[in-house]
Amino acid sequence: MKKRLFSLGLLLVMLMGVATTLSGCGQNVTQRADTQDTWSTIKKRGYVVVGLDDSFVPMGFREKSGKLVGYDIDLARAVFKLYGIKISFQTIDWSMNATELRNGTIDLIWNGYTKNPQREKVVAFSDTYLKNKQVLVSLKKNHINSFDDMTGKTLGVQSGSSGYESLENNPKLLKDKIAKKTPVQYDTFTNAFLDLNAGRIKGLLIDSVYANYYIKHEANSADYNETQGTFKSEDFAVGMRKGDKTMRKKINAGLKTLKANGTLDKINKKWFGNQKVEN
C-alpha cells in the first residue's frame, strides 16, 4: 500500500511539474509576442511569413494550376517590395490564426482579416486598407429576401470568420431566428457553397467581397440572391503581434505610399473591376 501511495504521489508531482512547465511556456510565448520587435530579424533573413486561408476569393486563393493569387497577395507583395523583403505565404487553419501568429509560425495575418475589439485584445492591427460587410447569400428559388426569412432554416458560416463573430455577438439579428439557433460551421467558404447549392443549408453568412467575386464567376450567377442585413460594416487590416511596432509602422507607411502612387487603385481595378470599393 505504501509503495502504491508513493507511486501515486510521485506521479502527481510529475504531472504538476509538467503543468507548471507548460504554463511557463505559454506565458513566455505571450510575453514574446507582446514585447519582441522582430523587424530587424525579418529584414536580415529577407522574407516575412504571411498566414492565410488559400480558398478566400478574391483575397487569397489558388487557381486550378495551384498558383496562389488574389487581392491581398498583390497588396502584400507591393508593400514589402518597398522594403526589399520577399513573402512566404503559409496556408493555415483559419480558426487558429491568432495562435499561429503568437507562437511564431507566421509573422502576419493578411487575408481579409477584420479588425474588431475582440481580436484587438490579442492582435495588433495595421490601418484599414479595405471596407467589407457581411451578407446573406441564398438561392433565389428559396425566396429568402430578409433575415426574417431564415426563421427555422439552416445557416452556414465559416469557423473563426468575422461573420461567425458577428452572428455570435448580435444573436437577435440572425442567430436566434435560424434552426436550433446554431449555424453549421465550415472550414472554408468553398465547402459552404457546395452545401448551399446542394440544399443542405438554406443561407450562408459571408463576406461581401467573397460573395460578389464567387457569384460573378459562376455560370449560374443569376440563381443566387444576396441580402443586406444590419450587421455593422467591417475594416480589413493586417494582423500582427503586439510587439512588432516597427512592422506596424512600415506596413502603414507602405499602404499610404501605394495609395499615393496609384498602385492601390490598380490592384482595386484588377480584382474588383468597376465595382466601387472603399479603401
CB 22 within 8 A of CB 59: no
Q: Is the pLDDT of residue 4 over 70?
A: no
Residue scoring higher pLDDT (154 or 27)? 154
Buried b (16+ CB within 10 A) or exposed e, 231-241: beebbbbbbbb
Q: Are residues 120 and 158 in the same domain?
A: no
Q: Are residues 238 and 110 in the same domain?
A: yes
Question: Cell numbers of 271, please?
Answer: 480584382
Q: Is the pLDDT of residue 140 over 80?
A: yes
In a domain, 86, yes or no: yes
In a domain, 171, yes or no: yes
Q: Are residues 113 and 140 in the same domain?
A: no
Q: Are residues 139 and 99 in the same domain?
A: no
Confidence of residue 17 (pLDDT cuts 50, 70, 90): low
Q: Are residues 239 and 124 in the same domain?
A: yes
Confidence of residue 12 (pLDDT cuts 50, 70, 90): low
In a domain, 217, yes or no: yes
- Cα–Cα distance for residue pair 264/154, rounded to 1 Å: 38
pLDDT tens figures, 19-77: 555 555 556 767 888 889 999 999 999 999 999 999 999 999 999 999 999 999 999 99
Domain that holds residue 148: 131-232
* Count: domains in the chain: 2
Q: Are residues 141 and 209 in the same domain?
A: yes
In a domain, 156, yes or no: yes
- Cα–Cα distance for residue pair 144/23, rounded to 1 Å: 49
Confidence of residue 276 (pLDDT cuts 50, 70, 90): confident
In a domain, 63, yes or no: yes
Strand partners, 205: 136
Q: Are residues 191 and 137 in the same domain?
A: yes
Q: Are residues 69 and 188 in the same domain?
A: no
In a domain, 219, yes or no: yes
Q: Are residues 154 and 34 in the same domain?
A: no
In a domain, 123, yes or no: yes
Confidence of residue 194 (pLDDT cuts 50, 70, 90): very high
DSSP string, 37-78: --HHHHHHHTEEEEEE-TEETTTEEE-TT--EE-HHHHHHHH
Q: Are residues 217 and 186 in the same domain?
A: yes
In a domain, 244, yes or no: yes
**Mean pLDDT across the stretch 233-249?**
97
Q: What is the pLDDT of residue 9?
A: 54
Question: Cell numbers of 226, please?
Answer: 444576396
Q: Are residues 225 and 240 in the same domain?
A: no
pLDDT tens figures, 128-139: 999 999 999 999
CATH code of the domain containing 212: 3.40.190.10
Q: What is the pLDDT of residue 19?
A: 54
Q: Are residues 75 and 204 in the same domain?
A: no
